[in-house]
Chains A and B, each alone.
Chain A
Amino acid sequence: MEDRAIVELYWRRDQAAIDVTAARYGGYCRAIAARLLPDQRDAEECVNDTWLGAWNTMPDNRPALLAPFLGKITRCLAFNRWKAQGRGKRGGGELPLVLEELAECVPSDLPGPEQAAEDTEVEEAVDRFLHTLPRRAGDIFLRRYWYGESLEEIARRYGMGTGAVKSSLFRSREKLKQYFEREGIVL
C-alpha cells in the first residue's frame, strides 16, 4: 500500500492504518530506536508509541513522505526516553558518542551577555546548513546524527572506508560550528 493510501486510512480514523504502518515501517522505526536506546524493550516501546503518535497527529498532518515522518516521532520519543533515564541507566548505544561528536559543533560564546537562540531558530539554521552541504557529505551527516548509524554502517551504505566517513563528518562538524557563528546563533 502506498504512503498516500496509508495516510488516508489515518485521516479516516481507520485502525487498520496502524497495522499497515507497523508492517511496512516497523523495521525502519525499530532500527532508529535501537541505535539510540541500548535496551531493546525501551526501543520496542518507542516503536509502539510511534504508531500512537502518528494516530494522534494525523489529522492535522498529511505527510508526503511517511518514513521520515514516522522516523522523526520514533527518534524524538527515543531521545526523550534516553534523557529521562538517569545517567547510570543510559548504558551504551550510539547516542553518547553522537552527542560527544556534536559537542564539537557548539559555537564559541560571543563576547558580552547574549540571549540563547530559540529552538526554532536553531532548527531553521541546522536545516539551512544541511542544504548547503554537498549531497554526499549531507547524507553522511544525517546518517550519523539523525539516524545514529555507526561509522561502519555508513561506510557500508556508501561504499567508503570508515576513515573517509570519519573525515567527512569532521569537516561537516567544523562547517556547522562556523555556520552557527556566522549566523550569530548562541546555544
Chain B
Amino acid sequence: MKEERIFAALGEVDPALLARSEKKAMVQYWKPLVSLAACLAVVLGVVSVSRGGPQVTPPPVQTSQVTQGPALVLNNGEVGELYLCQAYQKEVAEPGFVIFVNQSVYGITREEESWVIRPREGLGEDFPTIDMTIARLPGVAPKTALQARQKALEGEYAEVGQAQETEKGVFFRASGGTEWDSPQAEVYGIDDGEGGTFLITARYFLEAEEGHGARFRDMVETFQVVLGADRQEAPAWMDQLRETTGRLMDAYFANRLYQVAGLLTGEAATYSGNDYGEDVSGWVSVAGVTWEVDNGTAPSKATVLVRHGGENEGEYAYLTMVLVNTPEGWKLSWTGLEK
C-alpha cells in the first residue's frame, strides 16, 4: 500500500529533526550566558526611556499604552507597533517580567494589581470576554495558585481540566461548552523565581480559539520572568543589543527598515523594507525570540531568531537577524526569512 511506503520512508528522516521535535520550542534569552540569570533581562532606563531614532506614529489607542503602577512600570517601544513590554523597576527587588505584545492589535494596561492585555477593537457586550491577565502572587507556589484558580473557575465553566506540567510552568484549560460563543480559559502558573507565581489567565470564546486564543498562547511563550538581581548584573552590550533588536523588529515587520537606516550596515544597508514586501505588523504574533552571541563577554556578532505566527494559525515563520557590534553600537547586517 502506498501510504505504508510513506510511513516507512519517514523512518529514515534526519535524526536531528526527531530530536528537535522532542522539545517544545523554548524561548531562550541570551543562550551563551544562561549561567547568569542576569542575562535574561537587562535594565533599561525603566521609568523614562528615550529610544531615539525615527518615530512612527502609533495607531489610535483606546487604552493607555504606558501605565505606571506602584511597584512596576511598563515600558513600550516607540519605533513600530510590536513591542517588548517590560514590567519591572530597577529599584524594586520584586520579580517582574517581559512579554512581546503586538500592540497594533492589543493594548496592555495596569489595572489594580494585574496587567491586562485586550484586543484594541472590542467586539461589543454581546460577546464573551477576550483578554489575558497577568497577576503576581507572592509566596504562593504555582501548583497551589492553580488549584485555587481551578476551584474559582469551577462555578464559571462547565469543564475545568486537570493541571499539567509544561516547560513554561503549570497549565490547565477550562471550557464553558462547545457552542461558538462558549467561554474558554487557559491558565498558566509560572514560577516567579522567588517562591511566588505569575498567574496568567487567557479568556476568549470558542470561535476565537484559533485567533485570539492562538495569539495569547504565542504571547505566553515569550513571557519571561525578570529577577531583581538580573537587572544589576547584565552587561551594557546586552542592554544595547536587546534594545536595538526591538527597534529593528518593529521596523522590519512594519516594512519600514528605511526608517532605521542608522542601524543598518553591510548588506542590510541596502534594505528598505522586509522580506514579506508589505507591512505585516497588523497580524504578526511573536512567539519566541532567541539571541545568540559569538562571545559571552565581548561579542562581535549576534544572531537573533524571531519565531512568529501569522494569518494561518499553527504555522510559524522564522526571521533571522544577524547583528554586528560596531563602535557606534549594534547594527543589522543581514536578515533572512524562513516561511
Contacts and interface: CB of A to CB of B under 8 A. Distances in A.
B134 to A, nearest CB: 17
A165 B5 contact: no
Contacts of B1: 99
A127 B12 contact: yes
A22 interface: no
Interface stretch (A4-12, A47-55, A65-73): A65-73
Interface centre among A98, A135, A146 (most CB of B within 10 A): A135
B163 to A, nearest CB: 12
Interface residues of A, number: 53
Interface string B202-213: 000000011001
B14 A135 contact: no
B9 A126 contact: yes
Nearest to B5: A187
A100 B164 CA distance: 30
Interface string B132-172: 00000000000000000000000000000000101010010
B10 interface: yes
A161 B19 contact: no
A138 B339 CA distance: 12
B21 A119 contact: no
B314 A137 contact: yes
A142 B13 contact: yes
B9 A123 contact: yes
A102 interface: yes
A35 interface: no
A146 B13 CA distance: 9
A171 B313 CA distance: 11
How many chain B residues sit at the interface, stated as a range, is 35 or more
Contact of A65 (B13, B19, B313, B316): B19
A41 interface: no
Contacts of A140: 314
A182 to B, nearest CB: 16
Given A67-B22, A131-B14, A159 B217 contact: yes
A127 B16 CA distance: 11
Contacts of B3: 99-100, 102-103, 105-106
A187 B318 CA distance: 32
Nearest to A138: B17
Interface string B171-200: 100000000000000000000000000000
A135 B318 contact: yes
B171 A136 contact: no
Nearest to B1: A99
B192 to A, nearest CB: 20
Contact of B25 (A99, A125, A135, A156): A135
A89 interface: no
Contact of A126 (B13, B307, B312): B13
Given A99-B3, A106-B6, A126-B6, A159 B19 contact: no
Which 7 A-B pairs give the minimum distances between C-beta atoms? Answer: A68-B15, A139-B21, A168-B314, A68-B18, A123-B12, A187-B2, A103-B3
Interface of B: 1-22, 24-25, 164, 166, 168, 171, 209-210, 213-214, 217, 220-221, 307, 312-318, 338-339
